[in-house]
Amino acid sequence: MEFDDDLKGCADLLHQGDPDRFMATMAAPLAARPLLFALYAFNLELSRAPWASQESMIAEMRVQWWRDVGAELASGGAVRRHYVATPLARLLRPDLAQHIDAMAEARRWDIYRDPFEDEAAFERYIDATSGSLMWMAAASLGEAEEATVRAFGRGVGIANWLRAIPELEKQKRVPLLDGTSEGVRRLAEQGYQHILDATRTRASVSKEAGVALLAGWQAREILKQAIREPERVAAGRLGTSEFRRRVGLMGRTALGRW
């Protein structure tokens, strides 16, 4: 697919707002990049919608707008003109677009300041956001077992969530059910277990679909850091140097080992 102005706009948006997924997409084969750029740009726009306004009604409207886009994509019919929605309508199968509704519903949590009701509610949030995104990307590119992809996506989602905690707390959100060091460690261990579960059934994900899972190339190291030193979470010190990030991605890309 030709990189038209819409796809270039998606790539620019991702480059500025989600540099990790931008790097992972640039490491993917050329044929996979249009879908990944459009899908990840959509995810970025949806994730920003709850924060568009301090007025909850306006934020709800922004989330609903993208939810409506998802419904149009899932119907297989006409989709409103938008530089992200338009290319996504050409690239994402309607049956996969059905997962967008749950993604948008989960994102409503970001609008308000209530904590998660319980551990099950948090797990549903992570699966609906990170798990669904990874599944849509992987299934668009090749054959894969959904349970394996979603398990990996949940692990990646928890790693990303731990990195986001300082900003969430700054925005007066309550991101953790148990904010103690032991609670943080348990959550990181859960995320790491999800990744281990996925790697045990690695063979169920084709090489083509596995390209989508490269977006989680940092998750193992981030989760291990949180397990060893949970205090790094509140301090915003999870992650590695730019050099290690790039080398790690290059290595996993070359080996095809997500």
Last residue of a domain, one of 64, 84, 111: 111
Q: Is the pLDDT of residue 177 over 80?
A: yes
Q: Please check whether residues 224 and 101 belong to one and the same domain.
A: no
Q: Please check whether residues 149 and 36 belong to one and the same domain.
A: no
Dihedral sign computed on CA atoms, order 75, 18, 162, 187: positive
* Percent over 70 (pLDDT), the chain: 100
Q: Is the pLDDT of residue 2 over 80?
A: no
Q: Please check whether residues 162 and 65 belong to one and the same domain.
A: no
When pLDDT is averaged across residues 129-153 and rounded to a whole number, the result is 98
Q: Please check whether residues 79 and 156 belong to one and the same domain.
A: no
What's the total number of domains in the chain? Answer: 2
Q: Residue 244 is part of a domain; what is its CATH number?
A: 1.10.600.10
Q: Please check whether residues 123 and 233 belong to one and the same domain.
A: yes
Length of the chain: 258
Q: Which domain holds residue 206?
A: 113-258
Q: Please check whether residues 133 and 253 belong to one and the same domain.
A: yes
Q: What is the predicted pLDDT for the residue at 1?
A: 56
Q: Is the pLDDT of residue 188 over 70?
A: yes
When pLDDT is averaged across residues 121-127 and rounded to a whole number, the result is 98
Measure Cα distances from 204 to 57, 201, 231 in Å.
43, 6, 36
Q: Please check whether residues 14 and 38 belong to one and the same domain.
A: yes
Last residue of a domain, one of 88, 111, 134: 111
Q: Which residues pair with 205 in a beta bridge?
A: 144
Q: Please check whether residues 234 and 119 belong to one and the same domain.
A: yes
When pLDDT is averaged across residues 80-103 and rounded to a whole number, the result is 98
Q: Is the pLDDT of residue 122 over 60?
A: yes
Q: Please check whether residues 77 and 193 belong to one and the same domain.
A: no
Q: Please check whether residues 87 and 71 belong to one and the same domain.
A: yes
Instruction: Return all residues near 256 (Cβ < 8 A) that are at least 6 apart.
Output: 207, 210
Mean pLDDT of the chain: 97
Q: Is the pLDDT of residue 256 over 90?
A: no
Q: Please check whether residues 29 and 81 belong to one and the same domain.
A: yes
Q: What is the predicted pLDDT for the residue at 211?
A: 97
The encoded tokens of residue 205 equal 């994900």
* Percent over 90 (pLDDT), the chain: 97
Q: What is the predicted pLDDT for the residue at 250?
A: 95
pLDDT in tens, 10-24: 999 999 999 999 999
Q: What is the predicted pLDDT for the residue at 63?
A: 98
Last residue of a domain, one of 111, 135, 164: 111
